[in-house]
Amino acid sequence: MNRYSHLAGVLLAVVAVVGLTFALNNDYYLRILFMMGVYYLCAAGMNVLVGYAGQKSLGQAGLFAAGAYAVALLTTRTEMSPWIALALAAVISGVFGVLIALPSLRVKGPYLAMVTLAFGIVVEKLVSEWTEVFGGAQGVYGIRPLSWGENPLSTQQWVWFTVALCAVTHLLLRNLVGGRFGRALLSLQADEIASSSVGVRVYRAKVIAFVVAAVTCGIAGALVAQQNQYINSDFITFHLSIFILLLVLFGGAGSQYGPLVGTVILVVIDVSLARWPAAQHFLYGFLLLFALYAMPGGVMGLLNAVFARFRKKPELPSGVEPRAYRPASADATGDLLVVDNVSKAFGGVKPAQDVSFRLQRGHVHALIGPNGAGKSTMINMVTGVLDPSAGTICFLGQNLAGQPAHAICQLGMGRTFQNLRLFAELSVLDNVKLGHHTRMRNGFFASLLALPAARREEARTTERALQLLALVDLLPLAHAPAGSLPYGLQRRVELARALATEPQLLLLDEPAAGLNPQETAELGQLLLKIARCGISILMVEHHMDLVMSISDHVIVLDYGIKIAEGKPGEIQNNPRVIQAYLGVEDGAEPTPAPAGA
């Protein structure tokens, strides 16, 4: 569905709900529609946090309270316009979102859920016990409601306003998650190390997700306070946090329509069981467990599975030219990477000991050695995944000490991994587009508003990704889930993703692992084609035929120590390399390997 037809569909839905308010000439039913809108706002933001970024939060009641009490205090203690107070409540909630995002850098999974739960409990206790400010159980009265002209909004007008706000929220979040930032958030959920290796600023993306969830939840709390003209601690309970999480999980986390489906179904159930609170709590617990274990994709997951067979596959453009990126400095000369006396120790284990080498621009370099020689450790130190214990690593004349992986990627260094780190649930095309993340220039607000600049960047990224998929002969599989491909093809996807970062130096950690001889030979030809584009390559590899046929320069490690380096022919005939890498029989002298072996 293109953006214009989707917009027409949203407008039609808004008109339908507005028409329904005229048919329901009853404040009770209008109140139910209003609360559906409020809960949808909470769920839509929570879906970005849980469904896309994969960050579990149980503190949404605290964010709801932040918006509700902010608007309550601003309108009862100042002469501020209720409309301005509503906007400030959203900002204040966003600040709280940043505060609870801070621990997400250090804790993950259930530990993060516990931290957010603690935040919700602290807020609940704060508004209950600090009666001088928040009124405790008595609450805050006299909150000024939104008004049109000089008249407060009627119940019907509250529904209109909330529905319009929900429609705008849906369109904005659809813009956000449907492009650069949505892919970045999904990559966090899959693999944070791989995400940072393609240039995603992991912590920044997490903070964005927390802030989005906080702002929408804060606005929802402010609307409830202003519509009721009253708020107290009874509104802020752990039950509310569970209910908001359930809206997302039951409807379908990660689906743009999941929060809406979950909200409509669960609010109707909530209203139906209002007379039996114990039954409500039991049912919420049951549905939460059911959604987690029996229906992980939620209602929308089931519907998508049913209608998938009837959905047309997206068409691929014809005449895509296979093309690799050519760095601006492809014709420059001199050292590209300088590793000087680098060591790494894990307690008593030292996988790198005073290793030094230099990589020349435009060359294919190989880093070889027996298992446990420290090759992957060296690649991880160069790319910022690990920090060296001693020594310096300079890339393009810049010291990489303390640089995070995403910053090193942005400098012009792409990589693949020894063990595949694809974003398996994403399509092949989206995996490669993620590689181009750091080269896209559209910021958060340009993406949120779908400005022309953001749409142009998305189109440019799609074009580049398709060219790279054509280069690695994967264009027909562009829309297939990356995890569904055979192992050898997944290796190519990872290579295309690394090329999408537009590197000057491409680091490949055992790219031929698991490939058959024909696939290995094809990989060698592809790497030579990439090198001819001016991209320098450092390859960790055990396939000696591949190493010797395409490398310009070979570096040999043994137990973390560099024992030799030079041209392939020199390395083949180096007795120390033969002894360390190939081994010799006891009492036998190593003999040089014949040239070309």
Listed in order, strand segments (DSSP E) in 227-297 are 230-231
Crossing angle of helices 452-471 and 487-500, rounded to 10°:
130
Model-level pTM?
Answer: 0.90
- 26-82 per-position pLDDT tens digit: 899 999 999 999 999 999 999 999 999 999 888 899 999 999 999 999 999 999 999
Contacts for 120 with CB less than 8 Å, ≥ 6 apart: 58, 59, 60, 61, 62, 238, 241
- 259-279 per-position pLDDT tens digit: 999 999 999 988 888 788 777
Instruction: Give the model's confidence band at 84: pLDDT under 50 very low, under 70 low, under 90 confident, else very high.
Output: very high
Cα 272 to chain centroid distance, Å, stands at 38
Instruction: Give the model's confidence band at 288: pLDDT under 50 very low, under 70 low, under 90 confident, else very high.
Output: confident
**Domain spans, the chain:** 3-237, 335-582
- Dist. CA 20–CA 137, nearest whole Å: 36
pLDDT at 453: 94
Q: What number is the average pLDDT over the span 449-462?
A: 94
Decide: helix, strand or coil at residue 155. helix
Q: Where does 335-582 sit in CATH, by number?
A: 3.40.50.300
Q: Which residues, in sequence order, are bridge partners of residue 540?
A: 367, 509
Q: What number is the average pLDDT over the span 190-199?
A: 93
Task: Count other Cβ atoms within 10 Å, centred on residue 15.
Answer: 11
For 579-592, b where at least 16 C-beta lie within 10 A, e where not — what string?
ebbeeeeeeeebee
Instruction: Give the model's confidence band at 581: pLDDT under 50 very low, under 70 low, under 90 confident, else very high.
Output: low
Q: Which helix (H) or strand (E) holds 359?
A: strand 349-360
The answer, yes or no, to whether residue 289 has pLDDT greater than 90, is no
Block residue for tokens 């000089």: 150
- Dist. CA 51–CA 72, nearest whole Å: 31
Diameter over CA atoms, the chain = 101
Is residue 220 within 8 Å of 459, Cβ to Cβ?
no
- DSSP assignment letter at 79: -
Is residue 444 within 8 Å of 208, Cβ to Cβ?
yes
The answer, yes or no, to whether residue 594 has pLDDT greater than 80, is no
Burial (Cβ within 10 Å: 0-12, 13-18, ≥19) of residue 157: middle
User: How many helices (H) and strands (E) are present in the chain, helices listed first?
Assistant: 24, 14
